A = this chain, B = another copy of it.
């Protein structure tokens, strides 16, 4: 079920300079992630601490309430973070892409569940190992604090969205946000990838599938966006969408 990429490469770790085979030094997510707090020379140490794991689409690898034994760093794919009510109502609290650090909770149990919504790869750190790392690399702790603060700001913005924005404003915010934050690598395009389903978007925005779909349709009819496929949106009128997202218009 899981494919670990390293298995497909010759394991000649003794013959080549270490960094050639160190999963961290070649990690595409390194630039955005908390790992950037660690110098190249110490990457070997980081690689030795982390366990790379591939996660299939649809697999839940963190369950709310479970004992929080590990921390994760997403290096590929996308993860949906969510909370459930006993009757099945779901609130998606965020989507975590490459570079995102998961498990930032002091408590002994996870406060949310996490499910891969496309083939995903994570680095896993056990709690004691992370503690060691934090002790040895104070810069890492500072970086984690930064990360936590940024997430806090994003969470407050999401509370504003959920508590006070209309359906139109929510969907516009979502699209603009995806364009701004989810695509640090892509060029100055106005194309947004949507690896999640309409249902997951709805659960993220506090709406229903039908309302999300209708709002997309209205934006299309008004020539503000086009949808080449269900998993892709092209933004035609970004200033207007930004205005709607901010609560104007």
Contacts and interface: CB of A to CB of B under 8 A. Distances in A.
B107 A153 contact: yes
Contact of A164 (B81, B90, B247): B90
Interface in A142-181: 142, 144-146, 148-153, 155-160, 162-165
Question: How many of these chains are in the complex?
Answer: 2
A142 to B, nearest CB: 7
A184 interface: no
Interface of A: 81, 83, 85-87, 89-91, 93, 104-107, 111-112, 138, 141-142, 144-146, 148-153, 155-160, 162-165, 203, 205-206, 246-248
Contacts of A163: 91, 162, 203, 205-206
Given A142-B141, A145-B145, A83 B247 contact: no
Contact of A111 (B91, B148, B153): B153
B158 A159 contact: yes
A111 B87 CA distance: 34
A68 to B, nearest CB: 11
Nearest to A84: B160
A145 B101 CA distance: 14
A156 B152 CA distance: 10
